Amino acid sequence: MPKNRGNNSIARRDNQSELNEQEMAERLQQRLREMERIEVEIPSRTRGEMETVRIRFQDHDMADVQTAGGEYVVDPQNGHCSCPDHRYRRGRCRHLEAVDIARDRIRQGMMHGSENDRDILPPQFTTEDFRAEQAGELSISRDYVDDNQFYSENPQLFAEDFAAAAAAPIPYEYENVLNGSDLTFGIELEFVNGDSDAIARELYDMGICGNDRMGGYHSQRVPGKWALERDGSVTSGNRGGELISPILTDTPETWRQIEIVCDVAKRHGAAVNLRTGGHIHIGATDSLDGKRQRWRRFFKMSAGFEQFYTRLSGGEQGRFRGGHYAESSVSQSLQGITCRLPEQEDLPSYQTRIMQISNGKYQRMNIGTFATKGTVEFRGFNGTLTPGVIQANVKYAAGVVHSAERSRIRGSETDNIIPTDSDRKRGRIINNYAENNQRTDDGMMAALDAVFSRRSDKLHILSVVAKNRWE
């Protein structure tokens, strides 16, 4: 993190001599213990903005750090923090950074003779600093990350993470959410109640929605803009409807826009219930088209992880909604595993063959959209206007397609891909699809290990799964 310590904003006293190192250390410790809460402005990468945190130093140099997300205990000497980010990722969290900034401010103020707390609390980072730092980190973090941790090899870790995730709020991220994947996606958010025209109008004024009022079902849309349409299952008069995104990519702007859409909808009374769905489309042409083995892995995950996918689909509502609009797709998937797929070079035949395998639109895994839109549609998810739940759903849907592409046991001369040991482990888990589809910890561990390569993503998914029960 850049340390922009500008001396211009620090009060100076020319008539006071500098302190030697030992005196400085002793006075610093005393000063820290005597001071009340110190406010420090630091970047929050989960919220994508600067956040003011409050720090109070205790004895033995321990500190309490109060943030919008909670209060944590920081041990700067040993580099420990009680926050989930530090515990799970084992990295240097922003709370440790904030304590270091506070200590450094006080130290510099004392060196220059300041006895006034207000004199030693200048801003340490400008908005431009933060944005530049974000851009630099984003350019690095877009690479695929595999931490090589498998719950199936460490069930105790799974039990600990499940318990921690159950007690934690559902997170929301802005950067490299899909772990380096360039998959495109789209979301459909059904809701009841709410003034649909007012929602459309406000989003239109913001430049997000293409029209300033609710349109008819499958009405003409403005490219690159959201749409708000009627849906017979949830719309009554001008209340209720379906918010439909344009094609999206994994960028901070995308995730902030989703956050805004949800906020506007809820402010105008929109809500969800067990009649509403939240559908996720994943662009699959590049990943699956003409790739027989990738399609087979996709079908094996669809069949093997349906119980897990169904539990995740409950969102924050406690259980999966079920019903005609999200039927089981296991039989469809089993057919896809065993059927004869076209030769790799015969690409046009894939659309026809996939349509033949499809059991219709109202499957939890709707593959019919591959022929018409080049996507696979995950229809199982309950309706939600909670950004963290939407993001978890997108992570899972994109993760399944991404894993179908990567998790191979053998390399491919055609794709020039050499699988890693972790890729092979995931491939073997996927191949065990007949044993994976169970309502047990083993079933959950298999799904998480196969779909995700980062522990942080597994924790995000578990924070939703833990709020629901098996179907």
Torsion sign across C-alpha atoms 390, 284, 299, 325 = positive
Mean residue pLDDT of the chain comes to 83
In whole angstroms, what separates CA 12 from the centre of its chain?
Answer: 46
73-112 per-position pLDDT tens digit: 888 877 788 876 665 444 567 788 888 887 776 665 544 4
**Percent above pLDDT 70 for the chain:** 77
* pLDDT band for position 198 (cuts 50, 70, 90): very high
Burial of 360 (0-12, 13-18, 19+ CB in 10 A): exposed
How many angstroms separate the CA atoms of 433 and 421, rounded?
19
Q: What's the average model confidence in pLDDT over 372-387?
A: 96
428-468 per-position pLDDT tens digit: 999 999 999 999 999 999 999 999 999 999 999 999 999 99
Using the CB atoms, write b or e for 185-224: b if 16+ within 10 Å: bbbbbbbbebbbbbbbbbbbeeebbbbeebbeeeeebeee
Q: What's the average model confidence in pLDDT over 383-407?
A: 97
Residue 457 tokens, joined? 């993503």
159-196 per-position pLDDT tens digit: 999 999 999 999 999 999 999 999 999 999 999 999 99
Using the CB atoms, write b or e for 234-257: b if 16+ within 10 Å: bbeeebbbbbbbbebebebebbeb
How many angstroms separate the CA atoms of 354 and 363, rounded?
14
Query: Above 90 in pLDDT, residue 131?
Result: no
- pLDDT higher for 143 or 126? 143
pLDDT the model gives residue 58: 75
Give the other-Cβ count within 10 Å of 401's Cβ.
26
pLDDT the model gives residue 114: 46
pLDDT the model gives residue 144: 87
How many angstroms separate the CA atoms of 179 and 51, rounded?
25
- pLDDT higher for 347 or 68? 68
Residue 411 tokens, joined? 């390399």
In whole angstroms, what separates CA 388 from the centre of its chain?
Answer: 7
Query: Above 90 in pLDDT, residue 267?
Result: yes
Query: Above 80 in pLDDT, residue 1?
Result: no
Which range has highest mean pLDDT (135-144, 287-296, 376-385)? 376-385
Q: What's the average model confidence in pLDDT over 149-161?
A: 97
Q: Which helix (H) or strand (E) holds 281?
A: strand 278-283
Query: Above 80 in pLDDT, residue 343?
Result: no
Do the beta carbons of residue 389 and residue 316 sit within 8 Å? yes
* pLDDT band for position 400 (cuts 50, 70, 90): very high
* pLDDT band for position 51 (cuts 50, 70, 90): confident
* pLDDT band for position 371 (cuts 50, 70, 90): confident
The long-range contacts involving 94-101, CB below 8 angstroms and separated by at least 24 positions, are: 94/42, 94/43, 94/44, 94/45, 94/53, 95/53, 95/65, 95/67, 97/1, 97/42, 98/40, 98/42, 98/53, 98/55, 98/65, 99/55, 99/63, 99/65, 99/74, 100/76, 101/40, 101/42
Q: Is-above-0.75 flag for pTM?
A: no
Q: Where are the beta strands (DSSP E) in 153-236?
A: 185-195, 227-229
- pLDDT higher for 1 or 421? 421
Query: Above 90 in pLDDT, residue 262?
Result: yes
pLDDT the model gives residue 340: 87
- From 7-11, 70-74, 93-97, the region with the lowest mean pLDDT: 7-11
Hey, where are the domains in the chain? 7-141, 160-465
Q: What's the average model confidence in pLDDT over 209-221?
A: 90
Q: What's the average model confidence in pLDDT over 202-223?
A: 92
